[in-house]
Chain A
Amino acid sequence: MNKNHLDELIGLLLDDSIDETQINELVAIISDDSAALQQLREQLILSDRLSQYEDDLRSEASFLAAIETRLVASESGSQFISNVIRSAELPKSNQPDSKTSNWLLLVTSVAAGALAASLFLMVFFKPSVPPANTTVTQLEEPTDDGVAVLTKAVDAVWNDENSPAVGVPISPQDIRLSSGLVQLEFYNGANVIIEGPAHLELIDSETVICHFGKVRARVPQHAQGFTILSPGVELVDLGTEFGMEVSQDGNTSVHVFEGKVELYDLDSDRDMNSRRELLAGDAVEVAMAGETRSIEVEESTFVSVVKLDEMELKSQQERFLRWKELSVKIANDERAIAYYSFQTESTTSRVLENQTAENSNHLDGTIVGSSWAEGRWPGKQSLEFKRPSDRVRVHIPGEFKSLTFAAWVRVDGLDRKFNTLMLTDEFDPGEPHWQINREGQLILGVNHPDQKAHDYKSPTIINLQNLGQWIFLATVFDADNSTVSHFLNGKMISEEALMGSTMLKIGNAEIGNWGVPISKTRAAIRNFNGRIDEMMIFDAAIADREIRSMYRIGRSR
């Protein structure tokens, strides 16, 4: 067998660009050549390994979180929850009984899910720590074992598969940054900037171990007592701003810019004999061996909050520019039937402009109630939907065989049974309803005239972790392949066979709310709570990789 030809076919297969004929050729080769088959298998393994290593959508953290969510959701998951709860030895009277109202059951099961989830994470990441004593309060409210929040990241490259995301609480754990800068805000108020490469260990909301790397901390009066341990020294902050650098071989230098800090020998249990006090303008270097010498204070080598803000702004501006290029492409894409980029010249405008080249003005939306707000980046606008009356009215004519809905949204809460992304005014045959239910599932409801109306549902995708974060949602109604698939942040999360072949139409519709049909006196309130800063509709099934690339270019950080 010609080896080059085999390589070419494997290359195409692993590039996701192989066609039917080439697949058949490959099948013919591997069915009677075991060496070729082995080649294919090895290439597949390496391809997957590389994808796990490179693709942050497949990181260990997101994989583990998905298992956890599915366990909680599945039947075995509820078993798991009850096991966990029972193992925490709750008094029986606190278990909901059969007379409990549905509402309470819902609240309790959500809370129990969160509890099970946090216990589950605990066994994953902190095997040595036994689960905390469970109390009734923990059952009633989701708990947070975080000690700090990651509030900024500039060009951050993590050394760990399990990389924290901006805006997400961080529980006690190791932080390994290979390059870039991040800012942590501790729950007690201390603000710490870490410059990679660095390895830190978060112990609690006021104690950090710095194994190596460079940190700058600003500690307000009320966070006094914030402590950083390095291989040679224990630093206790007395309300101040300082920098600490720990080299790979364990030497520590401390520079005080403001206020004062105390240094103690490590493991001296803050022995007063080893106590040294440093004031603003002081700097010392402590060798691993223990000897200390004064050095020049060098404030400028430690990135300050102001400097970090500047750098973050610059990186956001770059993202914004890349998005603008993409935005022009989408506007000129022939498959786009409506494209709302949510950018306006004037924030007093009550028009949501459609950007597609064709039918441009006719497709403009009318803003009712909603007000303009900041979007994914400074300078990017969005509309904020808060009140039950907030909405954008649009009219989109035409009949479509396939449709793709996609939007960048920030969900602030799931207040209603159904929370609208885009709904047609009625729900006539052929009309699609794109929305999120209270359980956080993305839904495309379609009224198939030949069948019953059907909700194509994703698993739960909106949860406590991504509330308040910008996320990219997409749903593809693919008539050619007879499927409906949902996407979160560029990744397909579910796919379901079509229940019927139906030409879709939109007509009068609303973004962020449900227009009350005149014929009906009462309609359920389905207003969206959050912000939307981009929405596009294509009359085609957009390919998986295009959705992925829209996400990668458009993501906020």
Chain B
Amino acid sequence: MSHSTNQHADDFAQLVAEQHVQLRSFIRTLGVKPDWVDDLAQDTFLVAHKELGSFERERDFGKWLRGIARNLVRNEVRKDARRRRLLSENITNILLNSDNEVEETTLLEESRMCALRDCVEQLPSKSRELVSGRYGDGWTASDMAEQVGMTAAAIRQALVRVRRQLKQCIESRTTEVEL
């Protein structure tokens, strides 16, 4: 008895540690507002914790969690008072109805996680500054405009480009490792 409950806690702790980074990003891709991503990810883990007994070990844990998350986000669409957790109901509906396992997992693999740090730290200093302003300090483009001497539109454009570069950088690094 004591062994199995410990085992249960161990399994769950390991599950959270292994999956939380990918799961959080996945929830963002369903159109959840940035400030609510972590809360929904926590909801997902709480459901998973309750259902852990019914999970078969040989199945794909990440896929199972994503299924739970998808259901929670569907509930969000239905609940009126909580609508604010989503960027837009329409966007979420499109994202929910179109996602398929093959596409979504390409950027959500464990090996690609470590690469992010290297890629971010290699960015040119101007891009690096924009990234830490936007994501570290939470400024919007117009908050930063004066300080970095760019227009807000140019900053947003630059950040779209930076994210695209980072995606390529991460993918190329992962390929190198695989070779």
A residues lining the B interface (CB < 8 Å): 7-8, 10-18, 23-24, 26-27, 30-31, 34, 37-38, 40-56, 58, 60, 63-64, 66-67, 70-71, 74, 76, 80, 83-84, 86-89, 119-120, 123-124, 127, 131, 481-483, 490-492, 495, 497, 544-545, 548-549, 552
22 contacts between A and B (CB under 8 A): A8-B153, A17-B142, A30-B91, A34-B98, A37-B98, A38-B103, A40-B95, A42-B167, A45-B108, A49-B116, A53-B120, A55-B135, A58-B38, A63-B24, A70-B46, A83-B9, A87-B5, A87-B6, A88-B2, A490-B138, A549-B138, A549-B143
If A12-B156, A86-B5 touch, whether A45 touches B94 (CB-CB below 8 Å) is no
B133-170 near A? 1/0 per residue, CB < 8 Å: 01111111111000000001101110110011011000
- Option from A49, A83, A119, A544 in Cβ contact (under 8 Å) with B8: A83
Cβ of B157: which chain A residues have Cβ within 8 Å of it? 7-8, 11
How far, in whole Å, are A488 and B74 apart by their CA atoms in the complex?
27
Q: Is B117 an interface residue (CB 8 A)?
A: yes
Classify the secondary structure of B's interface with A.
helix
- Option from B25, B134, B141 in Cβ contact (under 8 Å) with A45: B25
B100-140 near A? 1/0 per residue, CB < 8 Å: 00011001100000001100100000000001101111111
Cβ of B98: which chain A residues have Cβ within 8 Å of it? 34, 37
If A30-B91, A89-B2, A491-B35 touch, whether A497 touches B25 (CB-CB below 8 Å) is no
Report whether A45 and B136 are in contact in the complex, using a CB–CB cutoff of 8 Å: no
How far, in whole Å, are A13 and B166 apart by their CA atoms in the complex?
19
Report whether B38 and A63 are in contact in the complex, using a CB–CB cutoff of 8 Å: yes
- Option from B1, B95, B160 in Cβ contact (under 8 Å) with A10: B160
Report whether B91 and A26 are in contact in the complex, using a CB–CB cutoff of 8 Å: yes
If A45-B28, A495-B84 touch, whether A50 touches B120 (CB-CB below 8 Å) is yes
Classify the secondary structure of A's interface with B.
helix
Interface size class of B (residues with CB under 8 A): 35 or more
Report whether A16 and B140 are in contact in the complex, using a CB–CB cutoff of 8 Å: yes
How far, in whole Å, are A24 and B26 apart by their CA atoms in the complex?
23
Cβ of B139: which chain A residues have Cβ within 8 Å of it? 549
What 9 pairs across the A-B complex have the smallest Cβ distances? A11-B156, A54-B135, A48-B28, A497-B81, A54-B136, A123-B13, A46-B163, A87-B2, A48-B25
How far, in whole Å, are A10 and B159 apart by their CA atoms in the complex?
10
Report whether B84 and A66 are in contact in the complex, using a CB–CB cutoff of 8 Å: no
Report whether A67 and B16 are in contact in the complex, using a CB–CB cutoff of 8 Å: yes
If A17-B142, A83-B9, A481-B84 touch, whether A31 touches B95 (CB-CB below 8 Å) is no
If A53-B117, A119-B9 touch, whether A71 touches B138 (CB-CB below 8 Å) is no
If A7-B160, A17-B141 touch, whether A47 touches B136 (CB-CB below 8 Å) is no
- Option from B20, B46, B166 in Cβ contact (under 8 Å) with A63: B20
How far, in whole Å, are A491 and B42 apart by their CA atoms in the complex?
15
Q: How far is the CB of B148 from chain A (nearest CB, A)?
A: 14
Q: A54-B131, A544-B35 are in contact. List 6 more A-B contacts (CB 8 A).
A: A15-B140, A27-B90, A37-B95, A44-B29, A50-B135, A60-B20
Cβ of B94: which chain A residues have Cβ within 8 Å of it? 27, 30-31, 37
Q: Is B41 an interface residue (CB 8 A)?
A: yes
Minimum CB distance partner of A38 in chain B: B103
Q: How far is the CB of B80 from chain A (nearest CB, A)?
A: 8
Q: Is B21 an interface residue (CB 8 A)?
A: yes
- Option from A26, A52, A549 in Cβ contact (under 8 Å) with B21: A52
If A23-B90, A52-B24, A54-B131 touch, whether A123 touches B116 (CB-CB below 8 Å) is no
Report whether B49 and A80 are in contact in the complex, using a CB–CB cutoff of 8 Å: yes
Report whether A46 and B166 are in contact in the complex, using a CB–CB cutoff of 8 Å: yes
Q: How far is the CB of A329 from chain B (nearest CB, A)?
A: 13
From A8, A54, A490, name the one whose CB has the most chain B CB atoms within 10 angstroms.
A54
Minimum CB distance partner of B85 in chain A: A495
Minimum CB distance partner of A4 in chain B: B157
How far, in whole Å, are A483 and B16 apart by their CA atoms in the complex?
31
B3-17 near A? 1/0 per residue, CB < 8 Å: 001101110011011
Minimum CB distance partner of B108 in chain A: A45
Report whether A50 and B163 are in contact in the complex, using a CB–CB cutoff of 8 Å: yes
How far, in whole Å, are A166 and B97 apart by their CA atoms in the complex?
45
- Option from A13, A23, A492, A545 in Cβ contact (under 8 Å) with B138: A545
Report whether B9 and A15 are in contact in the complex, using a CB–CB cutoff of 8 Å: no
